[in-house]
C-alpha cells in the first residue's frame, strides 16, 4: 500500500485510470483498434479447401466398348476435374468406357460392353493383366433390365433377394464371406475374403427400387499393400456417380 493513501483513495485512482484508458481507446481511429481474431474470416476458402485433398484435371483415355444397341456412339470429355487425396494425385487416371467415366489407376487398359437393355459393364486392368484374374476393377450399371438389377442386388440387399425368391423362385445367397457396411439404405461398402493369390477384394454396391430398379456396382481386386488407394478409388466412384445424392 502506498504511504499516505487509504484503500478508498486507491480504488478511486484505479477507476479514474480505467475511464481515461477507455476514452483514449475510443478516440483511436477504428482501423487502428485491435479487433478479436475470427476463426472463420474467409468462408469461401474454408468451403473449397478439403484437408489432404487436391483437385486435379485428368485426360480421359477412351477404351473399346462393344454395343448391343445399333448406332450408339457416345462422346466423352477430353478431361475431367476431380478431387483426390494428395498422396495419390499422380497415380490415378480417367477412362471413358461403356458410356461411363471411370477413375482408376494410371496407364491401365480395359474394355466394356453395353447391352441392348442399356446395362453397362466395364473392366480395367494393368497392361498384361486380365479382366477376371489378378489386379482388376469391374463396374456394372443396370438401369433398365428389371430382373438383371434385382439379381445383381440380391447378393448385397435382403430386399432384392426376397424379390428374386418371390418372383423368380430362385434363391441368390450373399457372396461367401461378405462383410457389409451400409453407408445409406441404398449404398453399401463391402469386402470379401482374399483371393487364392492373396489379393484383397473391396467394393461398393448401390440399389434403388422405387418403381424402376437401378443397380450400380464397382469391385476392385488388388494387393493389400494398395488398400488405401483402393478405398480412394471407390470413394471417387461414389462421388462421380452421385450415389449419396440419389
**160 in Cβ contact with 148 (< 8 Å):** no
210 — pLDDT class (breaks 50, 70, 90) = confident
Rounded to whole angstroms, how far apart are CA atoms 181 and 148?
A: 23
Partnered with residue 116 across adjacent β-strands are none
Percent of the chain exceeding pLDDT 70 equals 79
The count of C-alpha atoms lying within 13 angstroms of the C-alpha of 120, restricted to the half-sphere facing its C-beta, is: 19
Q: Is the pLDDT of residue 31 over 50?
A: no
Q: What is the pLDDT of residue 4?
A: 46
Average confidence score pLDDT of the chain: 82
The pLDDT assigned to 71 comes to 79
Q: What is the largest CA-CA distance in the chain?
A: 107
Bigger pLDDT: 144 vs 150: 150
Q: Nearest Cα to 104, choosing from 21, 226, 207? A: 226
pLDDT score, position 16 = 40
Give the dihedral sign, CA 101/102/108/114. Answer: negative
pLDDT at 48 over 70: no
What is the pLDDT, as a whole number, of residue 73? 82
- The band of 44, judged by pLDDT with boundaries at 50, 70 and 90, is very low
Q: What is the pLDDT of residue 211?
A: 81
Residue 25 has pLDDT above 80, yes or no: no
Cell 481474431, located at residue? 37
Predicted confidence at residue 8, as pLDDT, reads 45
pLDDT computed for residue 53 by the predictor: 87
Residue 36 has a pLDDT of 30
Q: What's the pLDDT at 50?
A: 62
pLDDT bracket for residue 246 (50, 70, 90): low
Cα 68 to chain center, whole Å? 30
Q: What is the mean pLDDT of residues 172-188?
A: 94
Average pLDDT, integer, range 122-134: 95
E strands of the chain, at which residues? 53-62, 64-67, 79-85, 92-97, 100-105, 109-114, 120-125, 136-142, 179-184, 187-192, 200-208, 214-222
Domains of the chain in sequence order: 53-240 (3.40.1000)
The 10s digit of each residue's pLDDT in 58-96 is: 999 999 999 988 878 889 999 999 999 989 999 999 999
For range 103-121, the mean pLDDT: 94
Region of poorest pLDDT, from 1-10, 30-39, 90-99, 190-199: 30-39
Q: Which three cell numbers stand for residue 157?
A: 440387399
Separation CA 168–CA 162 (nearest Å): 10
Amino acid at each position: 500500500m502506498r504511504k499516505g493513501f487509504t484503500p478508498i483513495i486507491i480504488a478511486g485512482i484505479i477507476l479514474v485510470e480505467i475511464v481515461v484508458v477507455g476514452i483514449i481507446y475510443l478516440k483511436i481511429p477504428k482501423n487502428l483498434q485491435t479487433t478479436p481474431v475470427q476463426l472463420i474470416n474467409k468462408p469461401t476458402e474454408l468451403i473449397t479447401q478439403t484437408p489432404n485433398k487436391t483437385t486435379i484435371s485428368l485426360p480421359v483415355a477412351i477404351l473399346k466398348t462393344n454395343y448391343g444397341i445399333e448406332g450408339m456412339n457416345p462422346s466423352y470429355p477430353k478431361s475431367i476435374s476431380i478431387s483426390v487425396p494428395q498422396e495419390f494425385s499422380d497415380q490415378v487416371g480417367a477412362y471413358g468406357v461403356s458410356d461411363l467415366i471411370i477413375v482408376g489407376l494410371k496407364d491401365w487398359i480395359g474394355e466394356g460392353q453395353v447391352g441392348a437393355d442399356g446395362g453397362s459393364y466395364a473392366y480395367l486392368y494393368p497392361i498384361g493383366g486380365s479382366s477376371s484374374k489378378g489386379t482388376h476393377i469391374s463396374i456394372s450399371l443396370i438401369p433398365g433390365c428389371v430382373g438383371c438389377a434385382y439379381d445383381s442386388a440380391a447378393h448385397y440387399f435382403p430386399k432384392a433377394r426376397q424379390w428374386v425368391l418371390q418372383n423368380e423362385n430362385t434363391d441368390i445367397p450373399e457372396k461367401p464371406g461378405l462383410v457389409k457396411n451400409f453407408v445409406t439404405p441404398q449404398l453399401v461398402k463391402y469386402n470379401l475374403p482374399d483371393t487364392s493369390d492373396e489379393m484383397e477384394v473391396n467394393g461398393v454396391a448401390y440399389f434403388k427400387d422405387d418403381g424402376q430398379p437401378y443397380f450400380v456396382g464397382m469391385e476392385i481386386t488388388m494387393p493389400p499393400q494398395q488398400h488405401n488407394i483402393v478405398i480412394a478409388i471407390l470413394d471417387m466412384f461414389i462421388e462421380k456417380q452421385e450415389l449419396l445424392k440419389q
